[in-house]
Structure 1
Amino acid sequence: MQDRADLTRQASFALGGIGESIPPVAAAFLTEQPMIIVGGTDAAGRIWSSQLVGDPGFLRVPDPRTLLVDALPLAEDPLAEVLAGPATVGMIAIEPTSRRRMRINGRSTPTTGGLRVDLDQVISNCPKYIQKREFRFLSDSGSAPAPGGTRHVTRGTALTPAQQRTLRATDTFFVASSDESGNTDASHRGGNPGFVQVLSPSVLRWPDYLGNAMFLTLGNLELHPAAGLLVPGWDTGSTLHLTGAARTLWDADETARVPGAQRLVEFTVTGVVEIADAVPLRWSAPNYSRFNPPVS
């Protein structure tokens, strides 16, 4: 993918940002976060993306090769069964307040009320396309709802009209992918509202903007098209989970019609899970990134 994009030299430098352990400054960053995104693969081979939340401090780093997460997904969450046993996971911690983020990939095992993740990769990322937001919890404790709590859940194989409107209005989503061996990664995608195009109830398209040239997500999709998307309800606490397959479009004419696009990614939806009031975490209205290209 790097060769095809003619970015091999830049990519070689960028790949130096991939390590195997968490440095002290990153460990401190993790302890300050109220949320982490996680991606994994279910028993049917479908990839899903979700979020785990808790009071800052619910993420802990007892040693540079281990992450402890004091939270589990709701029973209704598509990753609940996956994370109930050993799993290969991709994770991204993102701090919209400061536009910082880091990715953590490894192998998780369940603990009492949470997860232990033995790390394979720790990846630094740039702050581009992150919308600035401030967080608050609805409850005094700030804790996530207990697993098994009752929530209104909508399931389907295509997007409802309301879900299509949500996607057209979103400025952020997360995408989980894996290589052909199941090594999983989670990544962030951001832009001005409208950067996600809804072509039909089962087909989405978004621009791939100029980034760090690692091509971790697009490289995975080239080898293994399965992917999972998470669209957080920043002001409602809802979660919209999509699973399906994605491919990179290199059509120069199509790409030229989308401001800022280096190439396009098309995603075919095969499964949808929407959970209302999934988490008690709420975020302020966004301050859009100055790097966001305009949306035509």
Structure 2
Amino acid sequence: MWVLLMMKYHRGEIEVQEKACLREEASRVSKIVRENIVDVAARFIEKQVMLIIGLQDDNGLVWTSVVYERPGFVKVVDSQTISVRALPQPSDPIFAGLKTGNTIGILAIEFETRKRMRVNGIITKVHGTGFTVDTREVYSNCPKFIQSRTFLGFQTMKRQEPKLATHLDKDQKEMIREADTFFIATHHLEHGADASHRGGLPGFVHIADPQTLLIKDYPGNHMFNTLGNLVENKQTGLLFLDFEAGNLLQINGESTVHWEGTERFIHLNVKQIRNVIGGFPLEWEFGSYSSFNPLL
């Protein structure tokens, strides 16, 4: 049985909804949000090979990362409890934020079928091989802007030491320019952490300079969870994954939402960068771009 929650929007989300002239639509779509996981959702989550996770660390910085393992590493223990048997690397800034009582945003995404599900909750237990989450918000998103990919398997890769920086270098800028997918985490003081997907044609993330990224917000579910959080808290975590070469790029920064009429843009000021060559040993074969991707 589904437990109806109906998302209660906070001030930032309402502000963006009103500026976008989509307040009524947002009110209607809030009914898709539940606090528990039904069987079909549980089966979807449990067959995944990776989860995108986002949270705020003890310093108030928001980061996004990925955990992965063979299918079955995620278990739905009961209708409101998820057990994850995987952890990020100890050097990953997400690792220190995995603490009991902290909120976490989780995104399960299946590129081949263009399906995705978001789970926001509270970490209830952390142990040597994983963590447990008590769910608070569970809902599916539409397939828009998801590029199809087929999972080929795990690669044997030599993970290099993380490269830390405050400015994007030439290789990092090239990785961003070629990206058709990235993930974004935000955090709200009362509503907690959230992790989401963004997709488009390569080049949809514009690099203004080595410390500034400009990203147009494409039409989505009208709830504006990400942008609403950014109105209240500028802290932002981005994650770029190289699905062929197996590299990982994490960016922490501060974002503001800019408007041109009813269109929205995220302006991100880069603060910290963590780049790991060989940090994502999952190999994927590209299929096709989403038909929803706007032309650049």
TM-score by length of structure 1 reads: 0.91
Match of 1:245 in 2: 254
Task: Give 2:140's match in structure 1, choosing from 124, 130, 142.
Answer: 124
Q: Tell me the secondary structure at the aligned position of residue 108 of structure 2.
A: strand
* Amino acid corresponding to residue 240 of structure 2 in structure 1: V
Task: Give 1:24's match in structure 2, choosing from 39, 42, 45.
Answer: 39
Match of 1:105 in 2: 120
Question: How has the CA–CA distance of structure 1 residues 84 and 8 changed in structure 2, closer, same or farther, with 3 Å as cutoff?
Answer: closer
Contact 2:159/2:276 (8 A) holds in 1? no
In 2, Cα distance between equivalents of 1:167 and 1:214: 26
Match of 2:268 in 1: 267
Question: How has the CA–CA distance of structure 1 residues 9 and 183 changed in structure 2, closer, same or farther, with 3 Å as cutoff?
Answer: same
Contact 1:74/1:278 (8 A) holds in 2? no
How far off its partner does 1:113 sit?
0.4
Match of 1:214 in 2: 223
Match of 2:279 in 1: 278
In 1, Cα distance between equivalents of 2:265 and 2:155: 40
Q: Tell me the secondary structure at the aligned position of residue 18 of structure 2.
A: coil
Match of 2:288 in 1: 287
Match of 2:234 in 1: 225
Question: How has the CA–CA distance of structure 1 residues 150 and 264 changed in structure 2, closer, same or farther, with 3 Å as cutoff?
Answer: closer
How far off its partner does 1:139 sit?
5.3
* Amino acid corresponding to residue 58 of structure 1 in structure 2: F
How far off its partner does 1:112 sit?
3.6
In 1, Cα distance between equivalents of 2:56 and 2:74: 22
Task: Give 2:187's match in structure 1, choosing from 178, 183, 188.
Answer: 178
* Amino acid corresponding to residue 188 of structure 1 in structure 2: H
Unaligned segments of structure 1, at least 5 residues = 256-261
Contact 1:89/1:105 (8 A) holds in 2? yes
In 2, Cα distance between equivalents of 1:226 and 1:249: 16
What does 1:10-159 align with in structure 2 at a 5 Å threshold?
Answer: 10-83=25-98, 86-108=101-123, 109-138=125-154, 151-159=160-168
What does 1:198-213 align with in structure 2 at a 5 Å threshold?
Answer: 198-213=207-222
How far off its partner does 1:78 sit?
1.6
* Amino acid corresponding to residue 33 of structure 1 in structure 2: Q
Question: How has the CA–CA distance of structure 1 residues 277 and 28 changed in structure 2, closer, same or farther, with 3 Å as cutoff?
Answer: same
How far off its partner does 1:137 sit?
2.2
Aligned residue pairs total: 280
Q: Deviations over 1:100-154 (max 9, x none)?
A: 00000111131340110111111211000000001122359xxxx9xxx963211
In 2, Cα distance between equivalents of 1:179 and 1:203: 23
Unaligned segments of structure 2, at least 5 residues = 1-15
**Percent of aligned pairs with the same amino acid:** 38
How far off its partner does 1:86 sit?
4.4
* Amino acid corresponding to residue 257 of structure 2 in structure 1: T
Contact 2:155/2:283 (8 A) holds in 1? no
How far off its partner does 1:246 sit?
0.9
In 1, Cα distance between equivalents of 2:99 and 2:233: 24
Q: Tell me the secondary structure at the aligned position of residue 284 of structure 1.
A: strand
Contact 1:20/1:65 (8 A) holds in 2? yes
Q: Deviations over 1:186-236 (max 9, x none)?
A: 000000001000000000011111111010001100111111000011112
Task: Give 1:164's match in structure 2, choosing from 169, 173, 189.
Answer: 173
Runs of 4+ in 1 over 2 A off after TM superposition: 84-87, 136-140, 149-152
Higher mean alpha-carbon deviation, 279-288 vs 115-124, is at 279-288
RMSD: 1.7
Q: Tell me the secondary structure at the aligned position of residue 127 of structure 1.
A: coil
* Amino acid corresponding to residue 130 of structure 2 in structure 1: G
